[in-house]
Amino acid sequence: MEAFNDHIGSFYEALAEDKLDQLADALLSLRDAAATLPMEDPATVMLNDCENKASAKGQLALSNLHALVSTLNASLGRKSNDDTVLQYERLDSQLRTVINTFYTSYALSPSPANASSLAVLVEYVDAEFKQRASLRVDSLGKLKAAAPVNGHGYIDRSVHLEALNGLVHDVSFVVSLVEEANVSDLAIVFAPIHAAFVRGVLDILALYAADARLAAWEKKVSLRSTSPSNDLDDVEADESLQMVDLLLEELACILQLCLHYSAYAASFLVDQRGGNGDGGLSQKVHELNGVYLLLERFYIFQTMHKAVMIAEPQQIEPNVYAISKNYHTVLSVVIAIVESLERTYMPSILDLPRRSFDMPLPVTSPTHHANDSSAELSTDDLSFSDALLQAVDADLTHQLQVDAKMMMAVVSAYMSWDYVGKIHVRITETQASHFAALPSLLECLPKPLSELQLEFHQVFTSGLHALYARDLQPKMDMRFHQSVLQWQYELSLQAYDYLEVHGSPLVALVQSDKTLRRFRRGLSPPTFELMWRQVVRDMCDWIERGVTQKTFNDVGAMQLEKEVRHLSVLCGHFPAAGDVSLRAEFTRLDQVN
């Protein structure tokens, strides 16, 4: 109670002197002190009286905030020739002033006026952070213009990474100041900061892609990857590999920075619909990640390829070859690749389905777009049915994310399995042609390649099985059981002609099912073909069990034969590769027919 009385004295002293900042501090201290007192305590009545007196000053505090923000917003729109550091110091000082004025207005105003104070703060923070992002981009342009160019025509691209780091620091600094003001809904203030940040990042990444000639490198690597086999004997120059190595390092830093920021922003922006409104940032991260993977595979292949190519025996004098050194060079490179696959790639692939990042999806859950129009509604305005729909939508979107990450892990494991197989073949050929008299390279590895390849094979096959058993098999089994009720094979010629024109229920079921299209997009052609063969095998079993429950006449037997032939062609063309032979899968069904 003694502390409460002290704050009462401070409150009335500030009220008498019309010092709004001290008045707000005293009022907040009174609220904290009274929070521990019982409701019937006389201090509660005194606090209510102070609240009423403070509310009378709330409009004045709000007017002060409006006037300050109007003045500062006008200055933000003007170009300045001052040093960049000086401009940032000015922005920091002005932001602190606005935060302090908002703090006073927010504390003294009643609840309806609090929304007005918050709206003024959001308006200023939006304009202020746009200015910060613009300064970062403009500063990067000046540094680029002054940067020296090396012999290959490139500038030092560390300035781009510094600009990105600076922009992330700006977000952290502004948010920390806003948090100190005890804003009740920080997401409202963070939204314009995030939007300006994303625009700034995309501008910086566009400058980086141009200066790094990222599109040219991507095109070159893609062409080299698809070149005829006789062109692959060319060894990439050391300078080229060094540039790719530098690009990989820079892209890794950029991706790590963007992913860390996305996780940070999600804590403010994730809503009940599962979206985070990243304004294109996740799409850009997805694109850069694809470029990184392309360059990384090229770099690993060229490093291995170069080590093999330089291993040609060099004759020092008649019948004396400098081969031992080249043998150990190849062995050390192969050991490094095997260790990287085992210790880095394998754990990363296994951990991928549990990672917390969100992948950009080509489609969202069914109700996602329908809920966009009601996104403005607060939680209190939602009916039970709307809340239930949003919960189901969030669950479906989460499941799509889980499936997308699992498909990425499956494809990565398959590519690693395929890569290990190619390494095995290449090492065997190199051993036979150059190192026949020396110990087997395969036996000198820290782990047998066959064992490593088997582990990758188990990963992608078990991943495919999990996807199929969880998401596809139960749904398709249920649909086939429901469709069996419509199958008829005691047919007249008129019914046969009708089905010829309008199609049978069995063929229509396979044609109309869209569940598999998402997996065809997400998986690579070889991995999807493996899943598709399992689907076709189960489908043939379901059809066989279904037709054994039916009675047939001669016309019905002709109808089933036509349906099986139609399904065989239809299923063979469904995978992305097209024209897949499914003779083995349809053998049993042909025999039943």
The pLDDT score that the predictor gives to residue 585 is 66
pLDDT at res. 383: 52
pLDDT at 435: 76
The whole-number pLDDT of residue 50 equals: 74
- Name the least confident of 327-331, 426-430, 547-551: 327-331
We report the CATH number of the domain holding residue 548 as 1.20.58.1970
Residue 454 belongs to domain spanning: 322-467
Residue 408 in domain: yes
pLDDT band at 278 (very low <50, low <70, confident <90, very high): low
**Tens digit of each residue's pLDDT (9 = 90 or more) over 75-102:** 886 777 778 888 888 888 888 888 888 8
Q: Of 90, 105, 120, which residue sits at a domain end?
A: 105
406 and 523 within one domain: no
Q: What SS3 class is residue 279?
A: coil
Residues 407 and 509 in one domain: no
d(CA 157, CA 243): 12
Q: Could you say which of 55, 82, 105 is where a domain stops?
A: 105
What pLDDT is attached to residue 112? 59
491 and 462 together in one domain: no
Q: φ and ψ at 320, to 5 degrees?
A: -125, 120
Lowest-pLDDT choice from 51-60, 255-264, 493-502: 51-60
Higher pLDDT, 563 or 24: 563
Whole-number pLDDT of residue 384: 46
- What are the structure tokens assigned to 100, written together? 């302090």
What share of the chain in percent tops pLDDT 70? 72
- The mean per-residue pLDDT over the stretch 315-337 comes to 64
Tell me if 45 is assigned to some domain: yes
- Mean confidence (pLDDT) of the chain: 76
Does residue 592 register a pLDDT over 50? yes
Q: Does residue 60 sit in the same domain as residue 26?
A: yes
Residues 463 and 327 reside in one and the same domain: yes
Higher pLDDT, 592 or 419: 419
What's residue 386's pLDDT? 53
Residue 562 in domain? yes
Examine residue 279 and state whether it is found in any structural domain, yes or no.
no
pLDDT of residue 390: 53
* Whether 490 and 529 share a structural domain: yes
Percent helix, strand and coil across the chain, each to the nearest 5: 80, 0, 20
Domain end (from 83, 105, 127): 105
Nearest-angstrom CA–CA distance, 269 and 27:
31
Is the confidence at residue 368, as pLDDT, over 60? Answer: no
Q: Is residue 185 part of a domain?
A: no
> Which has the minimum average pLDDT: 83-92, 277-286, 432-441, 573-582?
573-582
pLDDT band at 311 (very low <50, low <70, confident <90, very high): low
pLDDT at 458: 92
Among 147-156, 248-257, 340-349, 535-544, name the one with the lowest average pLDDT.
Answer: 147-156
Any domain includes 142 = no
Q: Within a domain: residue 173?
A: no
In this prediction, residue 535 carries a pLDDT of 86
pTM over 0.75: no
**CA 48 from chain center: how many Å?**
50
Side chain identity at residue 518, one-letter code: R
Asked whether residue 459 falls in the same domain as residue 526, the answer is: no
Answer whether residue 104 shows pLDDT above 70: yes
Residue 155 to residue 569: CA distance in whole angstroms? 56
Q: Do both 326 and 463 map to the same domain?
A: yes
CB 66 within 8 A of CB 60: no
Q: Are residues 449 and 573 in the same domain?
A: no
Per the domain annotation, does 182 fall within a domain? no
The answer to whether residues 381 and 498 belong to one domain is no
- 492 shares a domain with 447: no
Q: Stretch 295-309: mean pLDDT, rounded?
A: 74
Please check whether residues 332 and 435 belong to one and the same domain: yes
Number of domains present in the structure of the chain: 3
**Which is it for strands 320-321 and 315-317: parallel, antiparallel or unpaired?**
antiparallel
pLDDT in tens, 187-241: 888 999 999 999 999 999 998 888 888 888 888 877 776 665 545 556 667 677 7
Grouping H, G, I as helix, E, B as strand and the rest as coil, residue 317 is strand
List beta partners, residue 317. Answer: 320
Residue/partner pairs of 575-582 with CB below 8 Å, 24 or more apart: 575/520, 575/525, 575/528, 575/529, 575/532, 576/520, 576/525, 576/528, 577/525, 577/529, 580/529, 580/532, 582/533, 582/536
